[in-house]
Amino acid sequence: MIAASVLVTVPAAHAAETADAAAEADSQCPWVGSDAPVEQRIDQLLSRMRLDEKLDLVHGSAMPFQFVGPTYAGMISENPRLCIPQLGLSDGPAGVGNGHTGVTQLPSPMALAASWDAELASRYGATIAREARGKGADVVLGPTIDLLRDPRAGRSFETLGEDPHLTGELAAAQVGGIQGEGALAQSKHIAAYNQETLRNLPANDSIVDERTLQEVYLSPVRDVVDAGTASVMCGYNRLNGVHACNNTYLLSQVLKGQFGFDGFVTSDWFATQASHAAANAGMDLQMPGGCHYGPRLRHGINSGAVTTARLDDMVSRILRPMFRFGLFERDGNGSPDDAVTGPEHAAVAREVAEKGMTLLKNGDGMLPLGGETGSIAVIGEAAGERVIGSGGGSPHVIAPEIVTPFEGIAERAREAGAEVSFDDGSQAGEAAGAADVAVVVARQWSTESKDNKDIRLSEKDNEMIAKAAAANENTVVVLNTAGPVEMPWLDEVAGVVAAWYPGQEYGDALASVLYGDADPGGRLPATFPVSQADLPAASPDRFPGGAYDEGLAVGYRWYDREDIEPLFPFGHGLSYTTFEYSGLEVRGDGGPDTTVTARVTNTGSRAGSEVAQLYVTHPESAGEPPKRLEGFQRVELEPGESARVRFALDERSLAHWDADADRWVRGEGDYTLSVGGSSRDLPLTGDVAVAETAPVSEPTPAPPPGAPEGDDPAWTKIGNVARCPAESLYAGMIGAISLFGLPPGEQATRPPRSPADDG
Who has greater pLDDT, 758 or 418? Answer: 418
* Mean pLDDT, range 414-419, rounded to an integer: 96
Residue 333's pLDDT band (cuts 50, 70, 90): confident
Asked if residue 579 lies in contact with residue 642, where contact means CB atoms within 8 angstroms, the answer is no
What 8-state DSSP symbol labels residue 94? T
Mean pLDDT of the chain: 94
Catalytically annotated residues? 268
Cα gap 200→179, rounded to integer Å = 30
Strands (E), 142-296: 184-190, 205-206, 231-234, 238-239, 242-243, 264-267
**Res 434: pLDDT:** 98
Write the single-letter amino acid at 714. Answer: A
**410 Cα distance to chain centroid:** 32
* Mean pLDDT, range 43-72, rounded to an integer: 94
* Mean pLDDT, range 261-267, rounded to an integer: 98
Asked if residue 318 lies in contact with residue 228, where contact means CB atoms within 8 angstroms, the answer is no
The pLDDT tens digits of the residues spanning 94-135 come to 999 999 999 999 999 999 999 999 999 999 999 999 999 999
**Res 69: pLDDT:** 84
Who has greater pLDDT, 457 or 28? Answer: 457
* Mean pLDDT, range 740-753, rounded to an integer: 93
Q: Percentage of the chain surpassing pLDDT 70?
A: 96
**Res 10: pLDDT:** 32
Asked if residue 740 lies in contact with residue 285, where contact means CB atoms within 8 angstroms, the answer is no
The pLDDT tens digits of the residues spanning 277-317 come to 999 999 999 999 999 999 999 999 999 999 999 999 999 99
Asked if residue 284 lies in contact with residue 264, where contact means CB atoms within 8 angstroms, the answer is yes
Per-residue pLDDT at 21 exceeds 60: no
> What is the chain's Cα-based Rg?
27
Per-residue pLDDT at 568 exceeds 50: yes
* Mean pLDDT, range 131-149, rounded to an integer: 98
The pLDDT tens digits of the residues spanning 587-625 come to 999 988 899 999 999 999 999 999 999 999 999 999 999
Residue 26's pLDDT band (cuts 50, 70, 90): low
3-state secondary structure 471-494: HCCCEEEEEECCCCCCCCCHHHCC
**180-189, 251-260, 330-339, 383-392, range with the lowest pLDDT:** 330-339
Cα gap 464→559, rounded to integer Å = 30
Residue 292's nearest CA partner among 735, 650, 731 is 731
Asked if residue 265 lies in contact with residue 298, where contact means CB atoms within 8 angstroms, the answer is no
* Mean pLDDT, range 76-85, rounded to an integer: 97
Residue 331's pLDDT band (cuts 50, 70, 90): confident
Per-residue pLDDT at 80 exceeds 50: yes
Per-residue pLDDT at 485 exceeds 80: yes
**20-24, 82-86, 203-207, range with the lowest pLDDT:** 20-24
Per-residue pLDDT at 8 exceeds 80: no
**Res 66: pLDDT:** 86
Cα gap 258→701, rounded to integer Å = 6
**147 Cα distance to chain centroid:** 9
Burial 97-113 (b: 16+ CB within 10 A, else e): bbebbbbbbbbbbbbbb
**Res 92: pLDDT:** 86
